[in-house]
Chains A and B, each alone.
Chain A
Amino acid sequence: MARILSLSEAVAELIHDGDQIACEGFTHLIPFAAGREIIRQGKKNLTLIRMTPDLIYDQMIGMGVAAKLVFSWGGNPGVGSLHRLRDAVEREWPLPLAVEEHSHAGMVQAYSAGAAGLPFGILRGFNGTDLPKVNGRIKAIACPFTGELLAAVPALRPDVAVIHAQKADRKGNVLIWGIIGVQKEAVLAARQSIVTVEEIVDRLDPPPNACILPSWVVSAVCLCPGGAYPSYAQGYYERDNRFYQSWDTISRSRDEFLEWMKANLSAENYFRERFHRNSEEVA
């Protein structure tokens, strides 16, 4: 059964230095508040797994929590580069960052295999590309029935999956809708999971087939309104595209980035203010 914890309790208890963690959410419902809490608690040597590192991992990499990144598309969506990610890869700042690079289809197969308890996922698509040359974990495998050459990727089994969702009930059942990405796969593939939510309600009353993660597959549920900001939570607030654009400037230089993180990380004030302003604009 999921326990209802504060975000700081959940991160302190469940995430340890050296862990492999997967903070998922495909553009929608990115668990930004959890990412900031991980930085605040000074976690180290994490392997960060995520299809699209986005600003959440740009911040975490820039603040030195990561030793390795497993990913499939590392840009600022619609804007350009993730400068902190690039600085780590191109110039080892603030630390060297090992990179394990896949395609999206490879990542979803790796998560699905993890969720299914299988050792590897299988897909068609790497023939002729250079990715298997730089990622030894993408291997060719022949179909035992037809002989077709396919690609195999090892299952992802993160120590902890971290996602954001719209709602949970008081027992910790989680309801999530809209663009649901690979959150369900990530939670089921991981040994433990933290789900931050916009609200905790008495009754979820989900329609049949709604995406529900039952309480008993979730380790901790944390009330965290605005926790996906500056990404968005369908039904609650929109994506702050202007913030994504301004991140390009903020993150470009090391000094400006550090100053910004220092000013905005210690308290949640900045995010709370921005989040409320954004919500009012939407309303």
Chain B
Amino acid sequence: MDYSADEIMTISAARMLRNGAVCFVGIGLPSKAANLARLTHAPEIVLIYESGPIGAKPSVLPLSIGDGDLSMTADTTVSTSEIFTFWLQGGRIDVGFLGAAQIDRFANINTTVIGPYARPAVRLPGAGGAPEIACSAGEVLIILRQGLRTFVDRLDFTTSVGHGEGGDYRKRIGLPGSGPVAVISDLGILRPDDLSKELTLTSVHPGVTVDEVRSATGWNLKISEGLEMTQAPTEDELMTLRELERRTAFAHGSQFL
């Protein structure tokens, strides 16, 4: 079956979530991939949204982080304070799943401003729950579309820490989680090098060349010696994703997605 770049991005990201994992989900692309995982290979995944639902099983993708469907289908709904203190900071999250506006070679994230903070060219939404998810989740997955505006040499603002300056930075400054383990884009998959923690291209999606990925990256991208090609989406993955998107569009109106 034919598929789009966005579809293989979402499907590749979904595959990284193991069944039974406790996953703290950001809204948008992370939520879409996490719910696809739940509807395919990971039916026992526990989805936690920062608004309070724990174990949410939404029938359609939520438009907001606090849609009613999330709490109605959850195992329990707690206050937002409790989510951040007992559940996230308390160390109960296996995987934090984030989006980003900008990312650098050490998977640090900017979602705050483009340009100087005091007089920004673009004021982005800001931190939300991301800094503490990036800090405390056992590991972190990041999903975003790849291009020179998103994969940048230098962030305008560090909203959430990935691997900082690289190496053992996280350990040095006392961040409990092990940080980003993969960045999934519409072109391929990048993983931090074991030692330097610099993002390295480990997989390209079918039909994408290494040069294309390089020219969509704002730094001199390192390529893994064991570079692989991402497995194409299966029919089941594609059908499940499209059905989820169809139900979602019907529920929220056609402008969504």
Contacts and interface: CB of A to CB of B under 8 A. Distances in A.
Contacts of B129: 73, 103-105
Nearest to A27: B66
A36 interface: no
Interface stretch (B35-43, B117-125, B222-230, B239-247): B117-125
B174 A27 contact: no
Interface string B61-94: 0111111101110000101110011001100000
A244 B89 CA distance: 31
B125 to A, nearest CB: 3
A94 interface: no
A239 B71 CA distance: 13
A279 interface: no
Contact of A127 (B88, B135, B252): B135
Interface string A99-127: 00111110011011000000000011111
A66 to B, nearest CB: 15
Chain B interface size, as a band, is: 35 or more
A127 B161 contact: yes
Contact of B252 (A73, A131, A182, A242): A242
Given A104-B80, A104-B84, A238 B68 contact: yes
B66 A130 contact: no
Interface stretch (A1-9, A163-171, A173-181, A268-276): A173-181
B66 A181 contact: yes
A138 to B, nearest CB: 10
A26 B123 contact: no
Interface string B130-160: 1110011000000000000000000001111
Given A108-B85, A180-B77, A74 B126 contact: yes
Interface stretch (A82-90, A154-162, A192-200, A259-267): A82-90
Contacts of B4: none
Interface residues of A, number: 55
Interface secondary structure of B, over-half rule: loop
A103 B131 contact: yes
Interface in B225-257: 251-253, 255-256
A16 B173 CA distance: 44
Nearest to B128: A73
Interface string B28-48: 100000000000000000000
B165 to A, nearest CB: 9
B58 interface: no
A149 interface: yes
B66 A179 contact: yes
A50 interface: no
A78 B65 CA distance: 8
Contacts of B21: none
A22 to B, nearest CB: 13
A-B pairs with the 3 shortest C-beta distances?
A27-B66, A75-B125, A77-B64
Given A127-B174, A180-B77, 7 more contacts: A103-B127, A127-B135, A178-B71, A180-B52, A181-B52, A241-B253, A242-B252
Interface of B: 27-28, 50-53, 62-68, 70-72, 77, 79-81, 84-85, 88-89, 112, 117, 119-132, 135-136, 157-161, 164, 169, 173-176, 251-253, 255-256
Interface of A: 26-28, 51-52, 71-75, 77-79, 81-82, 85-86, 89-90, 101-105, 108-109, 111-112, 123-131, 134, 148-149, 178-182, 184-185, 232, 234, 238-239, 241-242, 244-245
